[in-house]
Chains A and B, each alone.
Chain A
Amino acid sequence: MQVAIASGKGGVGKSSVAASLIYLLKDEYSLIAVDADADAPNLDLLFGVEMWEEEKELIGAKVARINTKTCIKCGICAERCPYDCIKLTNGNYVVNELTCEGCGVCRLVCPVEGVITLEEVRSGIIRKTTTKYGFPLISAQLDVGRPNSGKLVTEEKEWAKRIMKEKGIEHMIIDSAAGIGCQVIASLGGADVAILVAEPTPASLSDVKRVYKVVQHFREPAYLIINKADLNPGFKGLYEFAEAENIPIIGEIPYDRAIPRSMTMLKPVVEAFPDSKASKALKEIAEIIKGEILR
């Protein structure tokens, strides 16, 4: 089974919740964890990973380059670039490689053959390890300024599937990126279940509604976990949203400073502070997941 954990927004505690749930499920279930936030991966940090067993470079991003020696400086490329990536700098037209999407339009419109080339560059790295808890983890890191991190996530999931087949692992738990863009779509695509994590703030509500629309697009059943649940007692928005959309709320985790403290210790909170109030709530959630989702 493929379970994706998403939130639409950063900072609501998605990765802390994911790390703790994975920790609580690991003994009863065979599972593999996938960190699909290639922009800011952190499951490896939360599981105290120190070494990677295997790494793969992902080549695939393309960027345009202009040969300034043969360029006739007509400026058509800059005019036609859909993303305003080409600028006249010190008398030369230069592609900003950090914003180029690699579409190749500049090369097509350039009147002089061979001036503009599309070159393949590394977009990031995918890596695998076995955590000290015994289950494998796949993670990725997008290189600074590179596009197409959705492809990176798809590659990660493919790798995870191969390992599942080889080792007879049953479940894949994906910690998806913040937002609703390509990384998140790649994380949710093909998942059997989405677990949404939100906090009781208007910002988080707005974002979780947006990611839920993506979940609906894939027709996946969704569950909701409310983190920092006591942060904003008068706020009913998450409950109203869950009721209106018929999304079961499978747990409420109180705000607990044990969570940031456990993060600096590089451990899931349920391991570092098993008796904290957040850990107790997480254990109840894990039981519900065992009973109703993973079965």
Chain B
Amino acid sequence: MGIIRKALTSRPVASLTSPHTIDHYLDQIHPMLAAENVRARVVEVVQETGDASTVILRPNGAWKGFTPGQHVQFGVEVDGTRRVRCFSVSSSRAAKKGTFSVSVKAHPDGYVSQFLHKELKPRTIVYLSQAEGEFVLPRQVPDNLLLVSGGSGITPVMSMIRTLRDTGHQGRVTFLHYARSRDDEMFTADLDALAEAANVTVMRIYTRQPAPGAELKGRFHVDHLKHLGIDPTETLTYVCGPAGLIATVRDTYTELGAADQLQLEYFKVPSVDLDAADATGTLTFDDAKIEADNSGATILEQAEAAGLKPEFGCRMGVCNTCVVKKNHGAVRHVISNEISANTDETIKICVHVPVGDVNVAL
């Protein structure tokens, strides 16, 4: 398929199909039959815990693969609308040929994560991006490695440790995971199995309901490292989890002069607090790298107040000149009062006001 795919995405073909791409035509035959657009078929949805699932996917040939630690934009179509969220790849790079998986914890406000957890059926076709993200293992994995994760931040780290296991990595790997309780923990069986390996130390800490006789207790603390005999200055460390965990680890490493050993990834869960006052949060203009306190005015007006000059037309929601991508966050339509909170969706900035933290591509 490689040569055919190359030919189909070549310039001569593009000039024959202009102004559309070959995928516009192939899509009419079958959505999986795309030369450039990544699509995948759901193979299986596995329940991990009461509110977490792993989705096993078989991507089409446009998928270029992933590096452990990366995430993917995952789009499902519900009632005519494609809803997109970012999910980390959780499977090993050396997993069964042609498939990979993402694991998701259902968030009470998360439309897509809830849908995935409750309604996604095998054989459904989903829309993907290529794998993205810099939170990845180096090509040459060092002998000493520490992986720290909190809550559902375990997913990218799980992909790393599974890959290390499957590729026969011989160095010492310590995996420190913080969860509220054992019931909240994903991948329990796999973690148990990993703990058997000679070079791997798996340490699970339940912050709310500590296991009886646990070696370590409570939230992350420098003593946890000491207990495990880890020297932060000599151990490449990956941390993924909620902002609190990341802040503590970062402070500890900075204090010990080991900040350069640290790789971080925030595990963001979009949340919309509709009861809070409208004009709260921060409006981020991503391209311009400007942040402003949400004043409650429309995004267009706030962008102008911040000195940006976005394109606009009618300023009344008619002409569609001012549309931009909203990267994440929730916005409210000033006329219909409708709230939309999708990642990566198009909005007209002249008639939308931010609700809480919003990030737009301006």
Does A associate with B in a complex?
Answer: no
Interface, chain B (partner A; CB < 8 A): none
Which residues of A are interface residues toward B (Cβ below 8 A)?
A: none
